[in-house]
Amino acid sequence: MTDEDVPMELRSRVEVSTLEPNVLFASLQKRGLQRAYVDGGAVIRSFIEAALIEDMKITIVPILLGDGIRIFGSNDRDIDLELVSSTPFPSGLVDLEYKVKR
């Protein structure tokens, strides 16, 4: 993904980077930022492995799949999560908000 892939109306609020997670987070902190939205299974996994994920929201879509792919790929260790909140919607979707236990 490049900056050109970001819709024009979001370009003032979205930044695309190829930096490693620790380097990216350090550069964000130098700019006074404390939180970042991270998306995409492999990208999220790289931030989890760098111990940079503090909390996450996972949305459950009520469809049973015959087969599937792990949401974040394979992890070399278990990651304990603490449920903070759950929000059901009339459509059947459920938002689950977790805090990563350290």
Give the mean pLDDT per block of 10 residues along the chain (102 residues).
88 89 94 88 88 91 82 81 96 95 86
pLDDT number for residue 75: 76
Q: Give me the sheet containing 55-60, strands edge to edge.
A: 55-60, 94-100, 81-88
Reduce the DSSP state of residue 47 to 3 states and report it: helix
* Residue-range domain boundaries for the chain: 54-102
Sign of CA dihedral 60, 62, 63, 67: positive
pLDDT number for residue 32: 94
pLDDT number for residue 74: 78
